[in-house]
Structure 1
Amino acid sequence: MGHSNREIIDAVKDQAEKHMHLMVYGEIIQAPQVEHATLLASQLPAPLDVVYYVNSGSEANEAALKLAKRHTGRREIISCYNCYHGSTHGVLSLMGDEYFKNSFRPLLPDVNHIEFNSFDDLDKISEKTAAVIIEPVQGEGGVIIPLNGYLSALREKCNQTGTVLIFDEIQTGFGRCGKLFACRKYEVVPDIITLAKALGGGMPLGAFVASSEMMSGWQTHPVLGHITTFGGHPVSCAAALASLKILLRENWIEDAERKSSIYKMAMESHPLVKEVRSSGLLIAVDLGKREYAEKILPLLLEEGVMSDWFLFSPCSFRIAPPLSISDEEIEWSLVRIKRALDRI
């Protein structure tokens, strides 16, 4: 959306003037939640039709794991090496890098890992597995794209074993990869999809979405299997609704791959760049050396460009502009990115 979108600001102000908070455990139905959930569910593949709001991406993934365990009665969780699903206690357990986990042990038991894009590792999924949680495109791994057929094979293995498949679309969702959701792009439907970041249009909001049949598991044993005071905050939902309406109205998503190609061609032409990996406007520029990636970020800031690094791709820096970026703004940024690269 870019910064300070007028429609989103107006939606936030209008809702804040009506009411800012009520109990949101479900006892009181609130229009911003219902309107947004209805529109969101209409854009997701069947049977993903029930939206449960939370506060953040980490909480969305925590709750999705709970739902998978509740649904299957199993304990084992499988995630990928170089994944990132949040840093709260439960989802921290999913990380495959001991550096980030060791200071906080003991963590969740029965967590195992597979290599992203390894067809052989899919055999580790068994009838003991409650859930496999995966990013359709690995974000913190450095924008790692799924191989042809990999996500379909993962879906089939989960079907065979009765395992819940969770897609973490917190980074890939809402047009970032050139489709509204990456599950649409790769034509694989998960059992649960988790959302945050762009979901709230700049306001704090997370959600997980599953079928009504699966979500009904929250009703008993125990009742209120997941509760949250501020999840689905009406002001955040108002911002989310305005944001989603804008996304569906504009052609930014359809144009993401074209804009990405401008960045990709420009970066690949620079002698310092070893590789460019992209899915829509989620782009990793690999410089081949960690020291180069560490130098580029402060240089970019001096040039007026905000970038970021990747947890598990230390030689790369990130290009992920707002989907609303214009061609003129792309060229403006490229002049400065190239200038920063030349200064290394």
Structure 2
Amino acid sequence: MSIDVKKEKQVQSVNDYIKKVLRLIEKETVTEEEARWITKETVDGFREHVNPGFLEYRKTVTKDTQFAAVEWSDEGSCFTDVNGKKYIDCLGGFGIYNVGHRNPKVVKAVSDQLKRQALHSQDLLDPLRAILAKILADITPGDLKYAFFTNSGTESVEAALKLAKMYSERTTFISTTRAFHGKSLGSLSGTAKGMFRKPFLPLIPGFRHVPFGDIEMMRKTFETCALVGEDVAAVILEPIQGEGGIILPPENYLKQVRELCDEYGALLIFDEVQTGMGRTGKMFAAELYDVVPDILCLAKAFGGGVMPAGAIVAKEKVFKSWFPNPFMHTTTFGGNPLACAAAIATIDVLLEENLPERAAEVGDYFLHGLRDAAKGHEDKVLEIRGQGLMIGIEFHKDEIGYQVSQGMFDRGILVAGTLINSKTIRIEPSLTISYEEVNTVINTFKEVLEQVTAE
């Protein structure tokens, strides 16, 4: 067979495969035979072309063949796998689905925009970017005014770090232990987890980590940096640490950090990628602690669980560093019309349905219910803590967390227990989750706890 004929047959085979997949995408439901084909293609594709490590990870937190569970559709607080099994989603994409899965208002806004224009030309002025920036200036705390749009949380952190450097030309940053700010090189430099950092060392120079919540160590670090001529450009913090295990700050800690930044002429960056958009009971966690940062980072739920979208919002005195040359930091897809439409609709839903306030109320009910369920299991559960619908359940051992995560998944509830950090599992459902669904999660947690062993 000639090379040209072989190539032609290969192209035809790929084209036939694509057409089969597109026909499946068109369908609202699939047959059992189609579900088996989709599952096989998914598992084979991950093994041969994505990353087989994901399959090994799934096997550690599921039983039997459930590692091959394949998502197919979603709505409200739940998603359904390709075989029709429904799960209450308490992982929520690590905080993506604040307004629910496929919120109709967000989907409609994106669909309406798609009918007119999907992406902008990059040269003319695009209206939704300007409108969304104005909305953010109106709803963010204090005098935060100018916005730059991104596609993800790590991009938001990268933008914040670069803006801070341009503002003062200082190069020292203070982050904290247990911090997670992303995995691109700049944001990874602020992230504290050694497992993620070590393979990529050396990272961006100038980062120092101090214990989260230790204001005296923060103060000493500021003093030391000033004495040796390495003045601090900015402190970057999650107001409530997410990946670190839902760690709440000590009383007045964030205010004291704000005061230190002001004293030493440093900026304060709040990474609200996970805490923002109503998750903690306020639109932004900064409001919980009555602290206004100089730069606020957003992503995850910012796109309403429909579009990848992120942003930083900064004070004018800081952002004006980019006025003379707005091309000093750019991104092709950041602030695209579809993402902006999604974010605008998301903010509308959050405000109109009072979801931040609802997160506070439902979160309080959820927290007390989980604590009641854990009574009598103090040998397994160390602490249950949280704020709004950002809840952490800390166990005495990782192994217990594995068992609980697996047991809940087997019973149709997905939680944020992972291979690398199951000592604390996270509960981050949609802010629209019903009380009935919350009760189901609480009762399932109690049932699973009674069956796992503490050894």
**Which bin holds the TM-score, normalised by the shorter protein?**
over 0.9
Partner amino acid for 2:107? I
Could you say which residue in structure 2 is the equivalent of 1:100?
A: 196
Partner amino acid for 2:169? G
Q: Deviations over 1:70-123 (max 9, x none)?
A: 101101111001100000111111122322211112211111011111011122
Superposed displacement of residue 46, structure 1: 2.7
Q: Distance in 1 between matches of 2:434 and 2:326?
A: 49
RMSD: 1.6
Q: Distance in 2 between matches of 1:7 and 1:233?
A: 18
Could you say which residue in structure 2 is the equivalent of 1:216?
A: 320
Q: Equivalent residues in 2 for 1:7-22 (5 A)?
A: 7-22=105-120
- 2:413 counterpart SS class: coil
In the alignment, structure 1 segments of 5+ residues that lack a partner are: none
Could you say which residue in structure 1 is the equivalent of 2:103?
A: 5
Q: TM-score, normalised by structure 2?
A: 0.72
Of 112-121 and 33-42, deviating more is 33-42
Q: Equivalent residues in 2 for 1:216-255 (5 A)?
A: 216-220=320-324, 224-255=327-358
Q: Distance in 2 between matches of 1:238 and 1:184?
A: 25
Partner amino acid for 1:206? G
1:333 aligns with 2:441: yes
Q: Distance in 2 between matches of 1:13 and 1:183?
A: 32
Of 51-60 and 330-339, deviating more is 330-339
Length, aligned pairs only:
341
Superposed displacement of residue 343, structure 1: 2.8
Of 115-124 and 312-321, deviating more is 312-321
Q: Deviations over 1:161-197 (max 9, x none)?
A: 1101100000100111110001111000000000000
Q: Equivalent residues in 2 for 1:195-344 (5 A)?
A: 195-202=298-305, 203-220=307-324, 224-269=327-372, 270=374, 271=377, 272-309=380-417, 314-344=422-452
Tell me which stretches of 4 or more aligned residues in structure 1 moved more than 2 Å: 95-99, 309-314, 335-343
Could you say which residue in structure 2 is the equivalent of 1:37?
A: 133
Partner amino acid for 1:159? D
- Structure 1 residues 97 and 6, CA gap change in structure 2 (3 angstroms): closer
Superposed displacement of residue 32, structure 1: 2.0
Q: Deviations over 1:286-307 (max 9, x none)?
A: 1221101112222211111111
Superposed displacement of residue 280, structure 1: 0.7
Q: Distance in 1 between matches of 2:440 and 2:194?
A: 40
Q: Deviations over 1:194-234 (max 9, x none)?
A: 000011101101110102232121134x6511011000111
Q: Distance in 1 between matches of 2:177 and 2:155?
A: 20
Find the structure with the greater CA-based Rg.
2
Q: Distance in 1 between matches of 2:136 and 2:447?
A: 41
1:111 aligns with 2:215: no
Q: Distance in 2 between matches of 1:336 and 1:211?
A: 46
1:189 aligns with 2:292: yes
Partner amino acid for 1:153? Q
Q: Which has the higher helix share?
A: 2
Q: Distance in 2 between matches of 1:223 and 1:254?
A: 37
Sequence identity, in percent?
Answer: 38
Partner amino acid for 2:369? A
Partner amino acid for 1:200? G
Q: Distance in 2 between matches of 1:28 and 1:79?
A: 38
Contact 2:309/2:335 (8 A) holds in 1? yes
In the alignment, structure 2 segments of 5+ residues that lack a partner are: 1-98
Q: Distance in 2 between matches of 1:210 and 1:238?
A: 21
Q: TM-score, normalised by structure 1?
A: 0.95
Superposed displacement of residue 30, structure 1: 1.8
Q: Distance in 1 between matches of 2:136 and 2:420?
A: 31
Superposed displacement of residue 314, structure 1: 4.1
Could you say which residue in structure 1 is the equivalent of 2:274?
A: 171
Q: Equivalent residues in 2 for 1:30-69 (5 A)?
A: 30-69=126-165
Q: Distance in 2 between matches of 1:311 and 1:296?
A: 12
